[in-house]
Every structure is written in C-alpha cells, then in structure tokens.
Amino acid sequence: MLHSYGNGLVIALGLIMAIGAQNAFVLSQALRHEHHLWVAGVCVFFDVLLVACGVYGLAQILTNSAVLMAVARWGGVLFLSAYGALALLRALRKNSLAVAQERAPQTLRMVLTTTLAVTLLNPHVYLDTVLLIGALGAQQVSPSAYVLGAASASVLWFFSLALGAAKLAPWLARPITWRVIDFLVALMMFSVALQLLLNG
C-alpha cells in the first residue's frame, strides 16, 4: 500500500510540476491576489477526479475514441490560442501593470469559469492525469493508495504555488516583471496549442 502511495506521489509531482497552462494561470492569479486559493482548490479537485477516473477505467475509453480525442484537441487549440493572445496583448503594453491595477477585480465566478476552461479545455490535462497517471495507477497493487498519493502531490503543488507566488507578489509588483510574466504565459499557451495542432 505504501509503495503504491509513493508511486502516485512521485509520478504525479513529476508531471504536474512541469510549467503548463494550469500552472501559469495559478501563478498569474496568485500574483494578482485574485481568488488564488479557490483556483488552486479547483485544480486539485479536477486533478484528483481525473486521476481516479483514469485509474478506474476512463483511460481505456479515451484511447479508443477518436471523436473524444479530436474534440479535446481542437477545443484546446482554440482556447489556448485565445488566452495566449490576451496575455501577449498585456505583455506589449508598457502600462500593463497600471491597467491591471485600475481595472475592476474579477469576480469569483469569472475566475472560476476561466479556471475550469484552463483545466477542462486543455488536452494535456487529460494526457497527464487520465492517460499517463491513470493508466499507471491501474497497474498498482493498491490503486486506491496510488490515487491518494497523486492527490497528495496535487494538494502540495498547487497550494504551494498559489501561496508562494502570493507571498512574492510585493517584490514582483513592477511593470517589467508583469510584462515578462504575461509574455511567458502567452509563450506557454501558444506552445501547447501549436503542439496540439501539429501533433494531435
């Protein structure tokens, strides 16, 4: 049981720590102090849900459905491209930080809606949680312990990212820093969208 738990913890941490659309969004929300703990909580919830679904059979269903994979692919390309374009526009403005400070704060509903989109319209989330982590979990001696390990990794990572970035926000609150962050977010979104477009 402990071995399965450890496998889930290590494998999940290794995959979710890679900078991706979800991590970039959690980071940006934490730096803005906009409902960042809610964002982290939603990311954790769906990580655990999708890992559990993958471990208990969804991985097999997805790999056998060309239609579901195509929907996930093109939905992801469209959403990630649009989000990347918005981040790039912010990065190109010299007064991007002033604009961000002057605008009305986003409501919790708006932030949660975007979090759901970043999570559920990004095929890489399914690739990591359902297909890779889930398929490996199905082969464990104790699949339930494996899911618990993956859940622990998700909680540790997303809440550490949200709380750590929020603590660093006062030192990062310079226009050039925000422009660099927005540029890197845009670059990541476009990169993932391009990979989906070219490689499927």
Q: Is the pLDDT of residue 103 over 70?
A: no
Of the two residues 150 and 170, the one the predictor is more confident about is 150
pTM for the predicted model, two decimal places:
0.69
pLDDT 10s digits, 90-99? 778 765 544 4
Residue 161 CA to residue 170 CA, distance in Å, equals 16
Spans of all domains in the chain? 2-199
Q: Is the pLDDT of residue 112 over 90?
A: yes
